Each structure stands twice: as structure tokens, then as C-alpha cells.
Structure 1
Amino acid sequence: MAGKNRMGVVWGVVAAATLWTAPVALAEGTARTLSGYTQAIAVSAARDEALAAFYAARDYRPIWTSEQDADRRAALLRALEGAPAHGLPAERYDVEGLRAAFAAVKTERDRGELEVAVSRAYLDYAHDISNGILDPKSIDSGIVREIPRRDGLDLLRGIAGDRPALYLRELAPQAPQYAQLLKAKLDLEALIARGGWGETVPAKSLKPGDTGPAVLALRERLRAMGYLGRSATAVYDADIQKAVQQYQFDLGLTPDGVAGAGTIDEINRAPEERMKSILVALERLRWMNGIDLGARHIWVNITDFSVRIVDHGKTSFESVTVVGQNQSDRRTPEFSDEMEMMVINPSWHVPRSIVTKEYLPMMQRNPNAAGHINLIDSRGRTVPRSAVNFSNYTARNFPFAMRQPPSQGNALGLVKFLFPNKYNIYLHDTPSKSLFQKETRAFSHGCVRVGKPFELAYALLAPQSEDPKGEFHRILNTGNETTVRLEQPVPVHLVYYTAWPTARGHVEYRRDVYGRDAALFAALSKAGVELPAFSH
């Protein structure tokens, strides 16, 4: 709710120097005055459980509206004024309205109502900067992350402490990537104010040896982006090729040095589009604020088609991945969990949705279709295809499960990595190695296929084995399905960042493969988050 409606009046704009500094004494006497103030707080706070409990516990003493609260009050107003720097909507907190309300106080009842109004503005801001503005599940069903929302009563107790300015600063995520994204946001704002990266490249594709106006535009665009020094060439020469290649590498594109259609499309994106990615990334980091990533954790960025093990801030393992297809029931979800085990020589227990939507229609046409996958009855017994009339069944009443035994051709490959979850998502090997050569790798049913699964297994076994590689292969060579538990479970985070800073703070961008960021930015915009105006 906008601050201009909190007290039922429209507050004007006044200077900070006119803030309330002393109680108002009424002619009716002190008792009547205190009663009016206390009653106003009690009534105004009654509809918010945290506010009511907080003020009742402190006998309705103020934290904003007395002379002793000047530092806390000033710190809050500065924080509210700085909200847009975090990609938060300034109008949501109505700082100018709050300033005007302080100047408009005439009675102790006014002061009591203002005290609660300021606390409401503070709580709005504290919740937003701590854990985000949006409820992501209501925007995209694939964002199933549990957000550790801060308790309102704890937030009020925190700001009532002795160091309010420090407390306010520490509400925002303290992850270094958050600060790096804030800097990138400032840099982009300055760039936009200067007119952006110049004219777009008027070509569908360009390659080494090409000449003409489109090459000149490509050259100038790359120079403005910082990938190329000053040059007078009108030829797609070795310097331009190298710059294109570095740009491709930074954006996760195939780094061939040829400005094909996909590369041109990315080069032509306006800085406003990159700003949207940064604003959404800031919001996503706020959702994860309060989650202990783990000194050692697994980081799966869906948009980057990658998995990393991060040890104390440094990447110790990295691999390409394949993620879920861009279909409503196959997109890889976003959540955090703990990896507890790996299964070497796994069986593939085919998900029910795949059994009924894909394999049942195939077997109705040809009973021997998918013959490498066994039919399993309710008692766990393998059923011969010849004993089943598949035409008698529908997706609803098909009584069999399907299981593929361990093998080189198993859909899960030779190892899978489990973090048990209700979404039935995990990391695994695959026999379909060619897909890792694709630039965009969204081909799975939702699980994450790992390009270097054996190396991932070695890395996970290393803390508990003197010979992780040897141990893994001894088990693998048996051909038997074997579960190996991790003595120390490893946090795993499935995330979706289209803007993410490198270790050196340089922000790299990725494509919005599922359209999630577009939907989230639309919701942020509806909530009042604004882009800087772009002037060509």
C-alpha cells in the first residue's frame, strides 16, 4: 500500500529539518495527551500482529517520533531514498510523504498514527530488501524456491537497537555478487544516460573478410562495449574476429568468431534489456538471502547450462549440462536442497508421466516398442510384453511401471546424483553425449544431465576417500546398481540467472531460455520498479 494512503491524507513535501523533535502538549493535560498517543498506536497497529506485539511489549514507546529517535529516523529516510539503487520501487515507501507527515503533526494522536505509519513503511522496505518484492511461485510455477522471509517482529526489534544505520545496511544480501550487480546497475545507468552502445548492426550475419557499413557498425558496437580498441578498418579483420570471439565466450555462445544470427541478436540488445536482467538478478538474490549456500556447494545455473562445485568461494569443478526442455511440464525448476548420495550403475525408474504420455502410445502401436525397458507390475515383477494387451489401457488405468536396468545405454548413463525432492529432479550421466556440443542445451525432461559425470563423482567422493577415482571405478566395473552415500551432504542450488558476475566482477549475460525473467520483470514493473529512460 502506498504511503500516501497510510494515514488517509495526502502529505506534502517538506525539508528534513522540519522533522518532529518534541512531544505536543495538549491543554487537557498530560494524562489525556499520553492516552491519545497510546490509543492511536494501539488502534493503528492492531491489524498487524507484529506491530501490535512490538509496541505493546515496549509500553508503546516510540522508535521514530521522539527527539531521541532522530538518528534512527534519518537513517531510515536515507535508506528509503536509496531504494531505487537496489531496484526497488521508490513510490512504495513514499519517503517524501513521510517527511511531510512529520511536519503536519498537530496532536499526540497524530504522532501515534505517524509512528505506526513509519513502522509500516520500514517493514515494507525491510521485507523487500531482505527477501524480495515478488512471490515468485505466483508468477512461474517452476520457481519452487522456499524463501526465508524475515519475521516482522524480529525486524522491528532489530531496528530499535543501538546501531540502526548498520542494521539497515545489513538487511540487503551480503553476497559479493549483490554488490557487484549494484555496481553494474550504476554503470549501465550511466551508459544509458550517454546514449547506450550506439547504432545496432544492420545485418543478419557477418563473417571474417566481410566489408561495408554493417562491419563498421559491428566495429563501433564492439568498441562501445569494451571489446575492441579504436580502429579505422571497414573490414571484418582478425581484431574484430577476436573481439567477437571474446564476446561470444562471455555470453556462453559458441566462440567461433563468426557473428552469426544469434551473436548479432545478442550484440544488438539495448542496455535496457541488460538492465532488466540485472534488476531480476538482484530480486533473485534477495530470495536467496538467508539461505546458507554452504562453504562447499553445487551451483547449477539453468540459463548457463552449467554445474559447478564451489569450495570456499572458488570453483573446483565445472561441467556443461543439458537442462529441461522449454515446455510447461519439462522445465527444470529452481530450488535448493542437499545432495546425499550417488547411484553407480543406476536403473532408470521411468517417471509415470513419461510412461503414460510417451511409452504407452508407442506400445499400443507396437507392443515391442521401447523393448529395452522392462514392464513392472505392482509386486515388482517383470512382465513379458506378450502377456499385455496395451489397447485395453489408458493413461489413467495403465497398471504397470517401467524400469530400465543398468547398462551403457541406460537413459541415466552410469551414475546419478540424488538430492531427494518431491519434484523428482536430480543430476545424472547420459548416453546422448552429442547434445553437449549444442549452444542451447534444453533437451531433457527436467533433470540435469552432466557432461563430465565421472569427474563430478570423483570430486564428491574426494572428501571421504583416499582414492576417489579408483573407488568409483571399482564399483562401476561390477555392473551392479550401488548406492554410495556422501558422508557430508553437499548443498545444491538450482538457479536461473541471466546476469551473473564473474569472480572479477564482470557481469556476463545469458538468454532467458524459459521466459522466466521476462515474466518476473513484468511483475517488478507492475510493482513500480522503473527502467532509466533511454535516449538514442
Structure 2
Amino acid sequence: MKSKHLLFLLFTFISIIILSCKGKVNSQKKVHTVKLPGIERTDENLINLYFQNQPEDTIWREDILTFYKNRNYKLAWSYKGKFIPQANYVINMIKNIDEEGFSMECFPTNDIWHHYIQLSDYQKSILPEHIKAREEFDIFLSITFFKYARKIWAGINNPEKYDWFITKKTINERELLMSILKAELDSTFSASKFHPLHRQYKLLKETLIQYRKIARQGGWGNITKSTYKIKPGDTSSIIKQLRYRLAFESKVLKADTSNYFDSTLVFALKKFQFCHGLETTGILDSYTIDELNIPVEKRILQISANMERWRWLPEKGSDLYLAINIPEFALHVYEENKHAWQMNVIVGKTLSHTPIFSNEIQFLVFNPSWNVPKSIAVKELLPLQKKDPAYLTRNNMQVFMSNKLNTPIHPDSIIWHSINEQNFNLTFIQTPGPENPLGKVKFLFPNTFDVYLHDTPAKHLFTQKERGFSHGCIRLEEPMKLAQYLLEKQGMWKEKEINKLLEMDKEVYMKLKKKVPVYIVYFTTWMDSNENVHFRKDIYGLDQKLIDELNF
């Protein structure tokens, strides 16, 4: 994609080439014998002329004018006619934008590099046309940096469009550029310390580079689907295909021609299954083949979408925080930004998503009652009560008028067949007990989604690999472990007293001394502590939504 303003620059560059070709030797002699100006400057008129020719860049006008005005219009990317190391570094970053997950069409990378090289041939020249070309390119490169910084270091402006409601990280492109330009001007300069990116982003970027290389080599091919499961010790032509496929991601496996399912191959297959959320059987079944046959090009898009989400997250967590990754069906505990431990969770179904947001846990509630959401009360419980007049009573459900929660109503006093979704004005509350779906404890944090973490009596569901069973809340496999952990961290755990509370079946609120941040996130690919890349299914279709609308 060529920008219009490059046509404007191109005319200047053609003029330079013509002039240089007419008397190349003489002009070079002049450059080396005439004293260079100490400082080169642009001016407001030239900046305004740029935006007249490039109206689509007008959003950057005030930033660019302020940036150059604050430096008294001194050129940013060259000094005494010579490009500074930061210019080369930034242009190389833009040139390699595909390593950040974006298409090369996002920026006119070839044009930028071409003009940079061309201008480098005229460094230190005091010819008016060369000086003007440097001034124009300086403005152009500053604007391109602003565009790049926002796209790569901050991401899109409206992640809410993609169901992401965690407060987005922000950056000030002008301050970032000034910080980079103030760094030591030597050949070893690196802007890496300025990158406001997470370690996970860096690891995914390295994986993306590897996968793009595999794609350029033709991909990893497909494995033929078998009518039977292939087990360790078997011999089959399909095993040769499996060995070839796994060798692309294995550090120990070689793509030889063996058709025998040996122990090394079993180990590599189990690792693949583990990293893709499959049963780690070491047996080649249809589910495993489906994952193996996902093209590398699709994995590249998946990595790119998840790198975009990492751009949105705040840069630093607190001393202690929780992170629930929805597609992974897992809760992670972090201390000092290091992974401490994790547990399995159950999340919302496809039609009742667990929302993506963050807040802080303020209360633990032991023996919680369940205030049934209206949608569940109307669509699920009301029909059951109409069929069975004793249903609510048998399940320890209290009924209230929605505006009078202090006085329960006996279910027998209500004419249930006259109640429908339009006139429903009741609240159902299930009292604490063994049948209560919230179990023995819940963890409360303020949010508009009415979502929280809680125990569950349905423990058998945790045996499933894919655990999208809830109405949106997050069910914990080990809720009492988390309760004890949080309370111990704040010196509030008193085992005998809490055990006594649990035996009473009385609802008790316990306020934490210090709030604990919790992030509910959506990542379908990540790197673990051993730097193994993991992939999971896009259970809510949010990867595809990003891929369809952003230019990856």
C-alpha cells in the first residue's frame, strides 16, 4: 500500500537523483568541502503542507506540531545531516511489522526503506534539495512512528467491540518518541526498554516468527485420518506422517522415515496433546488428528489475534492477583508477577458467555444463598414451578416481590399460571444447603455482569476437558483452597472458626483487609513456564471476530 504523501516525496527524490546524476563527482566534492549546518530544522509551514497533502493523517496534526514546537522545530531523526541510530532502529521495526502479527500492507515499508537508503546516500549534503528532502522525510517518519506505536504498543482503541471490558492500557506516543530520542545516540541503541509489552507478547512474537518460517516452507501438511486409533507399538504409514508433523514443533523428534510408533514419538504426541487441551493418552485418535491438521496459516492468525489482546492489558499486576483464562478453563494465582499455582474452573456456555473484565475481590461469603438471576428464574425455574407446584419449596427457594426482599411470599399463594416473562415481578432466593449451586463459599467483586467465583456441588463436571457449563459465573474445583490461601495471606484464616461456620449453614460475609485483583481474560494461545506454546479452541468465536476485522 503506497501512501499519497510518498508521491509528493518521490517527486523530490527524483529531482535529487537527476541533479546528482548530472554532476555526481562535483556535488560530492562540494559536500565534503563545505561546512555543514550545526542544526537542521523544519517549520510549521512545511508541516501544514504535509497535512494538506495527506488529510487522512490529520488526527496526528496537533501531536506533530506540538512535538516539533517543543524541540524548536529541530529535526528528530538526523543530526548534522546524518541519520541517528534511532532512525535505523525504528525503520527496521516498521520494515518487520509482520513479526508483530500484522500484514506487511499495514505500512508502506518498502517505500520507507527505499527513501531512507536513498537519503542516506546524501547524508551531510548541504544542497537545498537534499536538506528539504531530509526535512520532509523527518516529518513523515515521525508520523509513521506515531501510527506504529499506537498499533503495536497500544492496539485498537475500542476493545469493547470485541467483548473485552478490562480497562485498556494507554500510551502517549509523543512522550514515548521523546524518550527514545533522548536515549544515548550510539550504534548499540535499542528501543526494547521502551516497549510497553508483556513477556507473553515477546514469547508469542518469537513463536509467530517461527510459524511464518514454516508457512514459507510450505507448511506441515496433513495426516491421513484412520478408521482406527493408532497406538504405541503400532506400525503404519500414518506414523511417518505423524513423525513429520510433530518434528516441526518438537525439540527432540526428527522427521525420519520410520513407520514404527516408538517411545520418543509417544512422548512427543503426549506433549502435543497436553499443549492443545486434549487427553494425554499418547494414542493417535480422530480428535488429535483434527488438531494436528489445523494449518500453520490458521495458527499464525490465532497467535496474531492473541498478541493484539496482550497490547490491551495493563503492564503490571499487583503483588497478588488472580487470572481466569476462559478458553483454558483455568484459574491462575500470581505472586509478584510469578505463577504460584492454578486450578480448574467451569465457565459460561456458548450462549451465556462469561464476560471479560477485571475488578477486585472484596468479600468471601461462606454458606452463600443464591439470588437467582431474573433470566434463569423466568426461563428455567418458572416453567418447572408451573409443572410442579412443590418445586420451589422442595429446593429451598424463597419467593419475594422484587421490591420487597424483606418479606417472603409462600409459593402456594401465587397463581403461577398467570405469571409470564412480561409480568414477572418476583425474586427467587435459594437458602444455603447441600443443593445450593453456589456450594460452601463464593468470592464477590463489584461488577455490572452479576458474575462471581463460587463453589459447586456438581464436582463431576470437572472431569471434562471442555468445561463451558455455567450461566456466566465461574465455578471453582478447589474453592476452599482459594479461600484459605487468600485469608492466610492476610492473616485472617482461623480454621476452627471457619469449620464451625460451615457446619451452621448460616450465610456469613467476611471482608478482606486488602482487596485482591481478579482478571477474567480470553487467550486461546500462550506460552507456559517451560516456553511450550499452547492452543485452545475459540469457544466464543472472539478470535475469529478480531481476525475478520483487523488486518492481520
Shorter chain as normaliser: what TM range? 0.7 to 0.9
In structure 2, C-alpha distance between the alignment counterparts of 1:88 and 1:82, rounded to whole Å: 9
Question: Do 1:7 and 1:113's aligned partners in 2 also have CA atoms closer than 8 Å?
Answer: no
Paired residue for 1:386?
412
Paired residue for 2:513?
487
Question: Do 1:42 and 1:52's aligned partners in 2 also have CA atoms closer than 8 Å?
Answer: no
Q: What secondary structure, in the 3-state scheme, does the structure 2 residue paired with 1:79 have? A: helix
Matched length: 508
Question: Do 2:95 and 2:113's aligned partners in 1 also have CA atoms closer than 8 Å?
Answer: no
Q: Which amino acid aligns with 2:354?
A: T
Higher mean Cα deviation, 175-184 or 445-454? 175-184
Q: Whose RCO is larger (CA < 8 A, sep 6+)?
A: 1
With over 3 angstroms needed to count, the CA separation of the structure-2 counterparts of 1:156 and 1:313, relative to structure 1, is: closer
Q: Which amino acid aligns with 1:293?
A: G
What's the offset of the Cα at 1:468? 5.3
Q: Return the match for 1:332 from 344, 354, 367.
A: 354
What's the offset of the Cα at 1:233? 5.8
Question: Do 2:345 and 2:475's aligned partners in 1 also have CA atoms closer than 8 Å?
Answer: yes
Matched, 1:416 2:442: yes
What's the offset of the Cα at 1:500? 0.8
Higher mean Cα deviation, 118-127 or 102-111? 102-111
Higher mean Cα deviation, 423-432 or 479-488? 479-488
Q: Which amino acid aligns with 2:358?
A: S
In structure 2, C-alpha distance between the alignment counterparts of 1:46 and 1:219, rounded to whole Å: 54
Paired residue for 2:536?
510
With over 3 angstroms needed to count, the CA separation of the structure-2 counterparts of 1:41 and 1:250, relative to structure 1, is: closer
Paired residue for 2:67?
54
Higher mean Cα deviation, 61-70 or 316-325? 61-70
Q: Return the match for 1:257 from 282, 288, 299.
A: 282
Paired residue for 2:146?
123
Q: What secondary structure, in the 3-state scheme, does the structure 2 residue paired with 1:297 have? A: strand
With over 3 angstroms needed to count, the CA separation of the structure-2 counterparts of 1:305 and 1:67, relative to structure 1, is: same
Paired residue for 2:369?
347
Q: Which amino acid aligns with 1:522?
A: D
Question: Do 1:326 and 1:513's aligned partners in 2 also have CA atoms closer than 8 Å?
Answer: yes
- 1:65-76 equivalence runs, <5 A: 67=80, 70-71=83-84, 72-76=86-90
Segments of 5+ residues of structure 1 without an aligned counterpart are 23-32, 530-536
Question: Do 1:345 and 1:407's aligned partners in 2 also have CA atoms closer than 8 Å?
Answer: yes
In structure 2, C-alpha distance between the alignment counterparts of 1:238 and 1:472, rounded to whole Å: 49
Q: Which amino acid aligns with 1:386?
A: D
Matched, 1:190 2:203: no
In structure 1, C-alpha distance between the alignment counterparts of 2:441 and 2:492, rounded to whole Å: 20
In structure 2, C-alpha distance between the alignment counterparts of 1:114 and 1:186, rounded to whole Å: 30
What's the offset of the Cα at 1:91? 3.2
Question: Do 2:271 and 2:280's aligned partners in 1 also have CA atoms closer than 8 Å?
Answer: yes
Paired residue for 1:149?
170
In structure 1, C-alpha distance between the alignment counterparts of 2:48 and 2:280, rounded to whole Å: 68
Superposed CA deviations along residues 150-181 of structure 1, whole A, max 9, x for unmatched, are: 13443344344345896843443442222221
In structure 2, C-alpha distance between the alignment counterparts of 1:374 and 1:277, rounded to whole Å: 47
With over 3 angstroms needed to count, the CA separation of the structure-2 counterparts of 1:389 and 1:35, relative to structure 1, is: closer
Larger Rg: 2
Q: Return the match for 1:501 from 513, 516, 527.
A: 527
In structure 2, C-alpha distance between the alignment counterparts of 1:455 and 1:77, rounded to whole Å: 51
Q: Which amino acid aligns with 1:214?
A: I
In structure 1, C-alpha distance between the alignment counterparts of 2:148 and 2:229, rounded to whole Å: 48
Superposed CA deviations along residues 410-465 of structure 1, whole A, max 9, x for unmatched, are: 11111111221112221111111111111111111111111111111111112123
What's the offset of the Cα at 1:148? 1.8
Superposed CA deviations along residues 56-91 of structure 1, whole A, max 9, x for unmatched, are: 444444324664672143332222123221113433
With over 3 angstroms needed to count, the CA separation of the structure-2 counterparts of 1:238 and 1:68, relative to structure 1, is: closer
In structure 1, C-alpha distance between the alignment counterparts of 2:132 and 2:281, rounded to whole Å: 70
Q: What secondary structure, in the 3-state scheme, does the structure 1 residue paired with 2:153 have? A: helix
With over 3 angstroms needed to count, the CA separation of the structure-2 counterparts of 1:345 and 1:3, relative to structure 1, is: farther
Question: Do 1:37 and 1:110's aligned partners in 2 also have CA atoms closer than 8 Å?
Answer: no
- 1:262-273 equivalence runs, <5 A: 262-273=287-298
Higher mean Cα deviation, 438-447 or 126-135? 126-135
Paired residue for 2:124?
none
In structure 1, C-alpha distance between the alignment counterparts of 2:183 and 2:363, rounded to whole Å: 46
In structure 2, C-alpha distance between the alignment counterparts of 1:36 and 1:401, rounded to whole Å: 67
What's the offset of the Cα at 1:512? 1.4
What's the offset of the Cα at 1:52? 3.7
Q: Which amino acid aligns with 1:359?
A: L
- 1:58-457 equivalence runs, <5 A: 58-64=71-77, 67=80, 70-71=83-84, 72-98=86-112, 106=129, 114-133=137-156, 135-138=158-161, 140=162, 142-163=163-184, 168-203=191-226, 205-208=228-231, 211-226=235-250, 228=253, 234=259, 240-288=265-313, 290-327=314-351, 330-371=352-393, 372=395, 373-377=397-401, 378-380=403-405, 381-457=407-483
Q: CA RMSD in A?
A: 3.5
With over 3 angstroms needed to count, the CA separation of the structure-2 counterparts of 1:73 and 1:175, relative to structure 1, is: same
Superposed CA deviations along residues 245-273 of structure 1, whole A, max 9, x for unmatched, are: 33222222122333332222112222222
Q: Which amino acid aligns with 1:391?
A: H
In structure 2, C-alpha distance between the alignment counterparts of 1:69 and 1:429, rounded to whole Å: 65
Q: What secondary structure, in the 3-state scheme, does the structure 1 residue paired with 2:505 have? A: coil
Higher mean Cα deviation, 249-258 or 426-435? 249-258
In structure 1, C-alpha distance between the alignment counterparts of 2:504 and 2:179, rounded to whole Å: 58
> What's the TM-score once normalised by structure 2's chain length?
0.81
Q: What secondary structure, in the 3-state scheme, does the structure 2 residue paired with 1:341 have? A: strand
Higher mean Cα deviation, 198-207 or 349-358? 198-207
Question: Do 1:36 and 1:109's aligned partners in 2 also have CA atoms closer than 8 Å?
Answer: no
In structure 2, C-alpha distance between the alignment counterparts of 1:183 and 1:272, rounded to whole Å: 16
Segments of 5+ residues of structure 2 without an aligned counterpart are 18-30, 32-41, 120-127
Q: Which amino acid aligns with 2:215?
A: I
With over 3 angstroms needed to count, the CA separation of the structure-2 counterparts of 1:63 and 1:246, relative to structure 1, is: closer
Paired residue for 2:34?
none
Higher mean Cα deviation, 372-381 or 465-474? 465-474
What's the offset of the Cα at 1:185? 1.6
Question: Do 2:221 and 2:295's aligned partners in 1 also have CA atoms closer than 8 Å?
Answer: no
What's the offset of the Cα at 1:276? 2.1
